[in-house]
Amino acid sequence: MGKRKRIAILFGGCSPEYGVSLQSAASVLEHIDQVKYETMKIGISRGGDWYLYEGTLQDIQEDQWLNKAYCTPIAFLPNRGRASLLLLRDDGLCELSVDAVFPILHGANGEDGTVQGMFELAGIPIVGCGVLSSALCMDKVRAHRLVKAAGIRTPCSLVYEKPYLEADILDEAAALGYPLFVKPVRAGSSLGITRVAQSRELIPAMERAFMFDNTVVLEEAISGIEVGCAVLGNDVLTTGEVDEIELTEGFFDFEEKYTLKSSAIHVPARIPPDDRSRIKDTAMRIYRELDCRGLARVDLFYTPDKEIVFNEVNTLPGFTSHSRYPSMMRTAGWDMSELITKIIELALSTHRKG
Ligand SMILES: Nc1ncnc2c1ncn2[C@@H]1O[C@H](COP(=O)(O)OP(=O)(O)O)[C@@H](O)[C@H]1O
Ligand SMILES: [Mg+2]
């Protein structure tokens, strides 16, 4: 048995999805193979400060980790060939090497290519998607344009920035039709998203979305079922089982995602096997089209006419043991530890040099 690889697990982050990241990271830390990997827990505060954290997983889950007794400020070196981080101790600097970084960060400043860029620059292997795919998948409008150009249906949409003219928007939205969805172009966990049933709700919904991004998209509401497909791999791809979100009211908003109060998730989706295969094939096409590698969860709609419509790709999907990506992979035979090992190995084996 060779030396254990040292994996820096990043959690928290300067993102509205900070709290979600804490749960995902605690789950990865709980399930990672300790024989193969030595983990280094790197906490990023809401304000964007980085620390080496040496406390318990429970304190991560309960957001009690940012405590002086367990945290040492750190900095990564952009210098290629060093692959290390600097501990900024009171008594001086200390350099620690790393073999790969696993950014378990959701949303802005983590899932959007920024952190990926920093480590690509430093020449440190990073788990999951790289700069281009992370940035593209974070941008719902640009991802839709590329997927549509590949011949896959996407919802009709309108894009706005400020300043906007209310009268124009109301006319254009009427042409798109109600109900429609208003979304920040770059966000996650349904934050800032509203299902708008009538014109008088539109402008307040847009203002809510503008709280999360400078660009807002209005999308036709797709009727049918929401389905997802876990994709794994770099060149050779494999998928998990397709899942289905059963909604009884509203849409899959922040509260539903993390409480499943009035919704349920079925794996496999309760749709014919042939259609599940079509969904998997479409998900893999989208994954390649958006240059994904490592892993991603591709979310789609399956309409009453059995048509597949693209919704979005999550390059760092939720990773608790009951989250959708691990559940879809588990149903296809991958347990959580095996899955984590595989995605780390994908990063280590194909790290782009030079
Ligand atoms: N065009 C649409 N038609 C129907 N439902 C939608 C549409 N867009 C979003 N939704 C609903 O809103 C939820 C969140 O939207 P999504 O685009 O996935 O954003 P996020 O990145 O925040 O998850 C979806 O899971 C779905 O329930
Ligand atoms: Mg979504």
Compute the average pLDDT of residues 70-85. Answer: 92
Asked whether residue 195 falls in the same domain as residue 323, the answer is no
Percent above pLDDT 90 for the chain:
92
Q: pLDDT of 265-302, one tens digit each? A: 999 999 999 999 999 999 999 999 999 999 999 999 99
Asked whether residue 284 falls in the same domain as residue 304, the answer is yes
First to last CA, the chain: 29
Q: pLDDT of 221-280, one tens digit each? A: 999 999 999 999 999 999 999 999 999 888 999 999 889 988 999 999 999 999 999 999
pLDDT at 2: 75
Asked whether residue 30 falls in the same domain as residue 178, the answer is no
Question: At 257, phi and psi to the nearest 5?
Answer: -55, -35
Compute the average pLDDT of residues 41-51. Answer: 98
Q: pLDDT of 90-134, one tens digit each? A: 999 999 999 999 999 999 999 999 999 999 999 999 999 999 999
Distance from residue 299's CA to the centre of ligand 2 (Å): 7
Is 262 within a domain? yes
pLDDT at 353: 53
Whether ligand 1 lies within 6 angstroms of the CB of 252 is answered as: yes
> Which one of the ligands is nearest to 223 CA?
1
Whether ligand 1 lies within 6 angstroms of the CB of 23 is answered as: no
Distance from residue 260's CA to the centre of ligand 2 (Å): 14
Q: pLDDT of 4-31, one tens digit each? A: 999 999 999 999 999 999 999 999 999 9
Q: Which domain holds residue 29?
A: 5-126
Q: Which of 251, 253, 298 to mutate to test the pocket of ligand 1 (most atoms within 8 A of CB)?
A: 251
Strand partners for 314? 297
Q: 173, 200, 220: which is the final residue of a domain? A: 220
pLDDT at 354: 47
Asked whether residue 82 falls in the same domain as residue 171, the answer is no
Asked whether residue 146 falls in the same domain as residue 289, the answer is yes
- Looking at ligand 1, which residue's alpha carbon is closest to its atom 21? 188
d(C-alpha 333, C-alpha 340), whole Å: 13
Q: pLDDT of 173-221, one tens digit each? A: 999 999 999 999 999 899 999 999 999 999 999 999 999 999 999 999 9
Asked whether residue 261 falls in the same domain as residue 182, the answer is no
Alpha-helical segments (H) within the chain: 18-31, 57-61, 114-122, 131-138, 140-149, 166-176, 202-210, 254-259, 273-289, 324-331, 336-349
Task: Note whether 207 and 36 are within 8 A (CB).
Answer: no
Whether ligand 1 lies within 6 angstroms of the CB of 16 is answered as: no
Q: Which atom of ligand 1 is nearest to the CA of 140?
A: 17
Distance from residue 182's CA to the centre of ligand 1 (Å): 9
> Which one of the ligands is nearest to 310 CA?
1
Q: pLDDT of 127-180, one tens digit each? A: 999 999 999 999 999 999 999 999 999 999 999 999 999 999 999 999 999 999
Is 291 within a domain? yes
Asked whether residue 201 falls in the same domain as residue 290, the answer is no
Task: Note whether 9 and 40 are within 8 A (CB).
Answer: yes
Asked whether residue 34 falls in the same domain as residue 62, the answer is yes
Asked whether residue 97 falls in the same domain as residue 187, the answer is no
Return the CATH number at 113: 3.40.50.20
Give the chain's mean pLDDT: 96
Whether ligand 1 lies within 6 angstroms of the CB of 312 is answered as: yes
d(C-alpha 136, C-alpha 292), whole Å: 10
**53 CB-side CA count, 13 A:** 27
> Which one of the ligands is nearest to 154 CA?
1
Distance from residue 41's CA to the centre of ligand 1 (Å): 32
Distance from residue 257's CA to the centre of ligand 2 (Å): 9
Distance from residue 188's CA to the centre of ligand 2 (Å): 7
Is 131 within a domain? no
Distance from residue 190's CA to the centre of ligand 1 (Å): 7
- Looking at ligand 1, which residue's alpha carbon is closest to its atom 14? 190
Q: Which atom of ligand 1 is nearest to the CA of 155?
A: 1
- Looking at ligand 1, which residue's alpha carbon is closest to its atom 25? 252
pTM, whole model, 2 decimals? 0.97
Whether ligand 1 lies within 6 angstroms of the CB of 189 is answered as: yes
Q: 175, 195, 220: which is the final residue of a domain? A: 220
- The model's confidence at residue 308, banded by pLDDT at 50, 70 and 90, is very high
Asked whether residue 193 falls in the same domain as residue 337, the answer is no
Is 354 within a domain? no
Distance from residue 310's CA to the centre of ligand 2 (Å): 11
Asked whether residue 214 falls in the same domain as residue 238, the answer is no
Is 149 within a domain? yes
Compute the average pLDDT of residues 58-64. Answer: 98
| Domains identified in the chain, total number | 3
